[in-house]
Chain A
Amino acid sequence: MSGIRVLVGTRKGAFIITADGTRRDWSVTGPHFAGWEVYHMKGSPVDPDRIYASQTSSWFGQIIQRSSDGGTTWEQPGLGPGDMPSFDAPPEDGGMPPKAPNRFVYDTSAETGKPLTTHQWYDGTQHPWEFARVWHLEPSLSDPDVVYAGVEDAALFRSTNGGESWHELAGLRGHGTGPDWQPGAGGLCLHTILLDPQNTERMFVAISSAGAFRTDDGGQSWRPINRGLVSEYIPNPTAEVGHCVHCLTMHPARPDVLYMQKHWDVMRSDDGGDSWHEVSGNLPSDFGFPIGVHAHEPETVYVVPIKSDSEHYPPDGRLRVYRSRSGGHEWEALTEGLPQANCYVNVLRDAMAVDALDPCGIYFGTTGGQVYASADGGDHWAPIVRDLPPVLSVEVQTLS
């Protein structure tokens, strides 16, 4: 019997929501990490019981949590009884790094980091790179002990020991455009990490407000992939970097086709990000945060239009998911079961996910604390929980 496990990160803790494959009756556990912000949780594709979580606080800092039993119990990786977390630097001789699950230190070595120390601040001046939190955790497609972390201020880190220690893939910050990156309203955050299932050397990341970037050598070197993006709100609307990309997604069977929700504009690339074209079509607003793709139909895409960058709620107070079955351009509103009056919630960039059942299930969480699910590709929706703290992220595991 198959099952579904929904991992929900909120402003005040994490929740895990489960159902069997019928997706009719849902059970909620939590809050885990009560009182802390949980920006993201995600399970390993090769070991679904291995789940990583980013627990964070403006008061008390960043904590990485890991579960090996599907989220029932959690531990800070490497911090068993008697262990002492270290913030010491890794040994220069390449020996075993200290167990430091919460240590995210920017690489400033000349060899790898090209010691970039500043990025652009809101007022255009240069500002030091300062670690704030982990926005996104992306477990490897092949090894449950390998996991990537996208952080604020924007950088990409990797752990190869289950989160016990982290090192920066500094070629991203160091490739040359870093001083031109500037924070979006939510900070200078690396929020999207896509791993190419057909090419282990290729990854995509997205940064607000810098744009999309790609590596073809496993993370050593990077280049911007923003050709075709037009952002009227920046000094040079077609600049190489500076675009506020909100989310990227791909279908695993077709990794050269990428979909993007930009600050404004829904975009598509058919060449692995080398070029983009707009597919906003008939959307009521092309501003939004998440974008998702159907598990079995690579041309079926989902977005949640938001009125504007200053009014972060649905147009007309009606919460509508829009679905395109043609890879963009032509969109239909999905409203059955969603509030169609006086609804002023937002849906954040990491708060939409799909399951792998047939028909495909679609899930999203709102800043009003609801998590909605559709078990029929978006035709009908119902809340599976409705009074959580503001939802920051939603991930879905399909269990066999």
Chain B
Amino acid sequence: MIRVILPHQLQTLAKADREVCVDVGGPVTQRAVLDALEAAYPALRGTIRDGESGQRRPRVRIFACNEDVSHDPPDAPLPEAVASGAEPLFILGAISGG
């Protein structure tokens, strides 16, 4: 079970708690986790990754084990602590005012 922390705006959109859990069958990568997250919460599709390009939105950042993995390849394995559920994957809105 993968733990994911959502930013406030996506919690309200998905009608979900701050921390949600998703199952990933196979390698635990950013793409796999986000695919599972969107399958569990369809309202989130297009909000973290652009719906057309599939690319991470410019003002969204993703952290694992205190490391910024936003620019890592989407199919790169996430840390074992995230894969095991010991640590959550953080999805954040970039700090840009407002």
Contacts and interface: CB of A to CB of B under 8 A. Distances in A.
A60 B93 contact: yes
B39 interface: yes
Interface stretch (A81-89, A109-117, A141-149): A81-89
Interface stretch (B8-16, B26-34, B78-86): B8-16
A128 interface: no
Contact of B57 (A60, A76, A83): A60
**Interface size of B as a range:** 20 to 34
A60 B51 contact: no
Interface residues of A, number: 21
A83 B42 contact: yes
A60 B48 contact: yes
Contacts of B10: 60
> For chain B, what secondary structure do more than half of its interface residues adopt (helix, strand, loop), or is it mixed?
loop
A61 B46 contact: yes
Given A84-B39, A102-B51, A105-B52, A57 B9 contact: yes
Interface in A52-81: 57-61, 63, 76, 79
Contacts of A103: 46, 51-52
B43 A76 contact: yes
> For chain A, what secondary structure do more than half of its interface residues adopt (helix, strand, loop), or is it mixed?
loop
B22 to A, nearest CB: 15
A34 B93 CA distance: 15
A315 to B, nearest CB: 29
A59 B51 contact: no
B21 interface: no
B60 interface: yes
A35 B39 contact: no
A58 B47 CA distance: 10
Given A59-B59, A103-B51, A36 B42 contact: no
22 contacts: A34-B8, A35-B8, A57-B9, A59-B7, A59-B9, A59-B59, A59-B93, A59-B94, A60-B9, A60-B10, A60-B47, A60-B57, A61-B51, A63-B43, A79-B43, A84-B38, A84-B39, A84-B42, A84-B45, A85-B51, A87-B52, A103-B51
